[in-house]
């Protein structure tokens, strides 16, 4: 149940992005759900490999290169999912940061751990 709620929160964060950035567009709720699913899969499967491969650059940049990896993956998902558009790399860079902040805030508000686990 928690996984489903997290997916819906991420889709809601994607739906909020076009209101904050005009360079990002999501055509409808179905597109947001698909894009959130693909983003979750990409972040689970591809991101760890990229972080490992770029570890020297990430260490030299004191971890800031991970923001670049997030932007590239965000832009890549926008290329794969019809109806989810991002204008370019810098738009993807800012959108990935905003997406993370929005989904973190919504998760903090909606996914409270009551300690009964």
pLDDT tens string 73-111? 999 999 999 999 999 999 999 999 999 999 999 999 988
pLDDT of residue 117: 52
Q: How far, in Å, are 12, 49, 65, 79, 101 from residue 9 at the CA level?
A: 5, 25, 26, 22, 12
Instruction: Please indicate, yes or no, whether the overall pTM of this predicted structure exceeds 0.85.
Output: yes
Question: For position 114, what pLDDT does the model report?
Answer: 60
First-to-last alpha carbon distance for the chain, in angstroms, is 14
Residue that the structure tokens 């800012």 belong to:
94
Q: What is the pLDDT of residues 9-63, one digit of tens each?
A: 999 999 999 999 999 999 999 999 999 999 999 999 999 999 999 999 999 999 9
């Amino acid at each position: 149940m928690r996984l489903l709620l997290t997916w819906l929160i991420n889709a809601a964060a994607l739906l909020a992005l076009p209101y904050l950035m005009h360079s990002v567009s999501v055509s409808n709720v179905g597109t947001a759900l698909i894009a959130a699913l693909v983003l979750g899969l990409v972040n689970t499967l591809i991101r760890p490999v990229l972080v490992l491969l770029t570890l020297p650059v990430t260490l030299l940049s004191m971890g800031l290169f991970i923001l670049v990896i997030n932007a590239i993956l965000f832009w890549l998902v926008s290329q794969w999912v019809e109806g989810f558009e991002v204008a370019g790399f810098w738009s993807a860079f800012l959108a990935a940061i905003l997406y993370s902040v929005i989904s973190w805030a919504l998760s903090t508000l909606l996914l409270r751990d009551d300690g009964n686990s």
